[in-house]
């Protein structure tokens, strides 16, 4: 498979590098790098290391997103979603997991815990103004279009 962007990565985990599970996948599964299992009680959260260090090219970010199977089957998801790994960050990639189920859940070394999505980043500039255009929606937000 050819890639549009190359990212340098140091892998201290011994686990496989993140990879796309299918040709149409947007995210690459990333794995836990643990010396011992992490037990998550209901509503408990933990910062899970991956053993990965990246050199993301300027103009790009890597987003950390939940895995749908982990969420539906075990009730485990990511907090701060999507998490952003900036191009100038050089520390270890870690994932904030939370157990939203009613049962204790265990995360083991090598478990697929999240997915990484590479995105191009556009930079914006601010234009100070005294007024902005009015729209049909205008100030409507947070459910303003109704329940159905």
Hey, what domains does the chain have and what are their CATH numbers? 8-120 (2.70.40.10)
Q: Do 5 and 93 contact (CB within 8 A), yes or no?
A: no
* Claim: this prediction has a pTM higher than 0.85: yes
Per-residue pLDDT reduced to its tens digit, 88-141: 999 999 999 999 999 999 999 999 999 999 999 999 999 999 999 988 877 777
Q: Please, which residues have CB within 8 angstroms of residue 16's CB and are 6 or more apart in sequence?
A: 31
Pairing of strands 112-120, 60-65: antiparallel
Q: Do 76 and 45 contact (CB within 8 A), yes or no?
A: no
Q: Rounded to whole angstroms, how far apart are CA atoms 64 and 78?
A: 8
Res 34: pLDDT: 98
Per-residue pLDDT reduced to its tens digit, 52-62: 999 999 999 99
| Proportion of the chain in helix, strand, coil states, percent, rounded to 5 | 5, 40, 55
């Amino acid at each position: 498979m050819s890639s549009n962007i190359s990212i340098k990565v140091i892998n201290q985990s011994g686990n496989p590098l993140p990879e796309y599970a299918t040709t149409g996948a947007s995210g690459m599964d990333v794995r836990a790098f643990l010396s011992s299992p992490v037990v998550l009680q209901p509503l408990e959260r933990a910062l899970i290391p991956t053993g990965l260090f990246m050199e993301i090219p300027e103009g790009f970010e890597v987003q950390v997103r939940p895995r749908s199977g982990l969420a539906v089957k075990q009730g485990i998801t990511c907090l701060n979603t999507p998490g952003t790994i900036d191009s100038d960050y050089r520390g270890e990639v870690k994932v904030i997991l939370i157990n939203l189920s009613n049962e204790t859940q265990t995360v083991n070394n090598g478990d697929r815990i999240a997915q990484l999505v590479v995105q191009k980043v556009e930079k914006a500039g601010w234009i100070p103004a005294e007024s902005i255009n009015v729209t049909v929606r205008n100030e409507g937000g947070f459910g303003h279009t109704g329940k159905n």
